[in-house]
């Protein structure tokens, strides 16, 4: 699992859904998109739409700093960049440590959460990236991607 941070919470997503983790890059804004769609980047010749996960999850937007990263993920057969506060590490999470998601956890909609895991005194929220973006979001991103 790739572990990253938004505000004070740690999230994890399966490594097999992640293409790369990139440093901050110039984002080309795209008019008339959803507030959390920050625009697009050109990554090695591929145009990739960029989502600010803080805004997607209803958190306060923050400025880019040296720690922020763009996680390039494969979501619903589409490459999408996810802006996160910090990309922490890559860890193995044994199945037996994964528990169903509580009804209320942090600031993230419970529908986006696959489960939680306690690893070394850390509570990791396991995200279901397929649910983080709805089909309407994918349509918007396809239009942005051009």
Residue 104, pLDDT above cutoff 70: no
pTM: 0.88
Q: Say what the pLDDT of residue 31 is.
A: 86
Q: Say what the pLDDT of residue 109 is.
A: 78
Residue 13, pLDDT above cutoff 90: yes
Alpha-carbon separation of residue 67 from 10, 52, 80, 81, 88 (angstroms): 14, 14, 19, 16, 10
CA gap 131, 1 in Å, rounded = 17
pLDDT digits (tens, 9 = 90+) for 77-94: 889 999 999 999 999 999
CATH superfamily for 2-145 is: CheA-289, Domain 4 (2.40.50.180)
CA gap 2, 11 in Å, rounded = 8
CA gap 95, 106 in Å, rounded = 22
How much of the chain exceeds pLDDT 90, in percent?
A: 62
Average pLDDT over residues 4-22: 95
Residue 137, pLDDT above cutoff 80: no
pLDDT digits (tens, 9 = 90+) for 32-52: 888 899 999 999 999 999 999
Position 11 confidence tier, pLDDT thresholds 50, 70, 90 = very high
Length of the chain as a residue count? 146
How much of the chain exceeds pLDDT 70, in percent?
A: 88
Question: For all residues of the chain together, what is the average pLDDT?
Answer: 88
Residue 102, pLDDT above cutoff 80: no
């Amino acid at each position: 699992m790739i572990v990253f941070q938004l505000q004070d919470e740690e999230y994890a997503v399966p490594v097999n859904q992640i293409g790369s983790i990139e440093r901050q890059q110039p984002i080309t804004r795209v008019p008339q998109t959803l507030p959390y769609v920050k625009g697009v980047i050109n990554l090695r010749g591929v145009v990739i739409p960029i989502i600010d996960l803080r805004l997607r999850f209803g958190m306060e937007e923050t400025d880019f700093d040296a720690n922020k990263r763009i996680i390039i993920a494969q979501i619903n057969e589409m490459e999408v960049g996810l802006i996160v506060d910090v990309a922490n590490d890559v860890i193995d999470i044994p199945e037996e440590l994964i528990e169903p998601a509580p009804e209320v956890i942090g600031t993230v909609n419970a529908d986006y959460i696959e489960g939680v895991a306690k690893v070394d005194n850390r509570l990791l929220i396991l995200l279901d990236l397929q649910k983080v973006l709805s089909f309407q979001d994918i349509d918007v991103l396809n239009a942005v991607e051009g």
